[in-house]
Amino acid sequence: MNEPCIVVGKHQNLLAEINLRFALENKIRLARRISGGGTVYQDINNLNFSFIHNSVNMEKMNFRKFTYPVLEALKNMGLDVEFSGRNDLLIDNKKISGNAMHIFKNRVLSHGTLLYNTDLTHLSAALKNTPQKYFDKSIKSVRSNVTNIYDYMVNPLSMSEFSDTLFDNIVKKTTDSEIKPLSAMEVESITQISKEKYGTWEWIYGYSPKYLFRNSFQLPDLTVIFELQVEKGIIMSQNSNIDPNNDPVYHRAFAALTNIRHDYATIYEALKSDQIINSSPTFNIAEFCNGLF
């Protein structure tokens, strides 16, 4: 269970997958995982599960091996759940679980989501994007019709009851299972790795593949067309049809973008700190920033 967040796959372009403005306005955290696959929205009523397994034959590793215990546990709760061809779990032909996998040497991590009673309105809004502005070779998400497990339960459980019941069902079906809590040292190590790698801007934003961003906006006497070349989250160059003699402030604003993060807060502060741009009566910093995403 998580506070509201959006999690993109390892090889995805974060900005191309999300509604950044909605995420910022609603204080939705952004994250990137080490596994592939598409983008997911999670909140406190979404449940995550993970299986870590050692194997000498990775060719036999598949999603069904790890999601079957979850499917079986859900069926034991009276739910009509089935596999889809995309490694998802479905109820009524609607997605309730997406799964991803990461393999390192002889160890595999398979994990997935379970939409129990997630805010689907926020999910839809958070993942509503405009990918046609982004040109790259990143992995693209495939949007699916989704639903909540809660709506199909004859006797609905609280989130904690559902989590406990699911866990108990899986443990009972697992041979020689043993419950071992994390040690204080393990928790400390996990917290440190989370902070020093997975919580950094360089991982969340900067790991996105290089991309070209194109957009346009309207001035009173001109349709401004521009593009940004971005690598590792940094705007390496920009180009627009702005005439520096006719629109010097806009020309200055675009020039200020070079070599800074393609990040709303960073760009906003950079423009706000420029006295000429900030004092211009015809230049709206917020509107300009909105057009850059």
- Assess whether 270 and 131 both reside in one domain: no
- Assess whether 81 and 116 both reside in one domain: yes
Instruction: State whether residue 157 is helix, strand or coil.
Output: coil
What pairing do the DSSP bridges indicate for beta strands 40-42 and 29-32?
unpaired
What is the amino acid identity at position 290?
A: N
Q: Of 170, 204, 238, which residue is a domain's last?
A: 204
pLDDT score of 235? 98
Mean pLDDT by 10 residues, the chain (293 residues): 91 96 96 95 96 75 83 95 88 95 89 96 91 90 93 95 95 84 96 96 97 94 95 98 95 97 97 96 94 94
pTM: 0.91
Structure tokens at 216: 């346009």
The sign one gets for the Cα dihedral 284, 205, 199, 163 is positive
Separation between Cα atoms, residue 130 and residue 86, nearest integer Å: 23
Q: Of 204, 236, 253, which residue is a domain's last?
A: 204
pLDDT score of 179? 87
- Assess whether 133 and 55 both reside in one domain: yes
Torsion from C-alpha of 82, 83, 89, 90, nearest 10 degrees: -50
- Assess whether 78 and 16 both reside in one domain: yes
Element (H, E) at 264: helix 264-272
Q: The CATH number of the domain where 230 resides is what? A: 3.30.390.50
Structure tokens at 8: 């993109």
Q: Is residue 214 a contact partner of residue 227, using CB atoms and an 8 Å limit?
A: yes
Separation between Cα atoms, residue 35 and residue 28, nearest integer Å: 21
- Assess whether 128 and 272 both reside in one domain: no
Residues recorded for the chain: 293
Domain range for 60: 5-204
- Assess whether 114 and 172 both reside in one domain: yes
Separation between Cα atoms, residue 202 and residue 154, nearest integer Å: 45
Q: How many domains does the chain have?
A: 2
- Assess whether 151 and 232 both reside in one domain: no
- Assess whether 98 and 160 both reside in one domain: yes
Q: The CATH number of the domain where 71 resides is what? A: 3.30.930.10
The sign one gets for the Cα dihedral 266, 270, 273, 276 is negative
- Assess whether 19 and 140 both reside in one domain: yes
Please report, for residues 57, 159, 201, 207, 228, the alpha-carbon distance to residue 233 in angstroms, rounded to integers and kept in the order given: 37, 37, 9, 7, 11
Separation between Cα atoms, residue 147 and residue 24, nearest integer Å: 25
Exposure string for 71-80, b = 16+ CB within 10 A, e = fewer: bebbeebebe
- Assess whether 261 and 239 both reside in one domain: yes
- Assess whether 114 and 11 both reside in one domain: yes
Separation between Cα atoms, residue 113 and residue 131, nearest integer Å: 24
pLDDT score of 174? 81
> What residues pair up with 225 in beta bridges, in sequence order?
216
Q: Of 177, 204, 231, which residue is a domain's last?
A: 204
Any idea what DSSP says for residue 261? B
- Assess whether 98 and 219 both reside in one domain: no
Q: Is residue 259 a contact partner of residue 289, using CB atoms and an 8 Å limit?
A: no
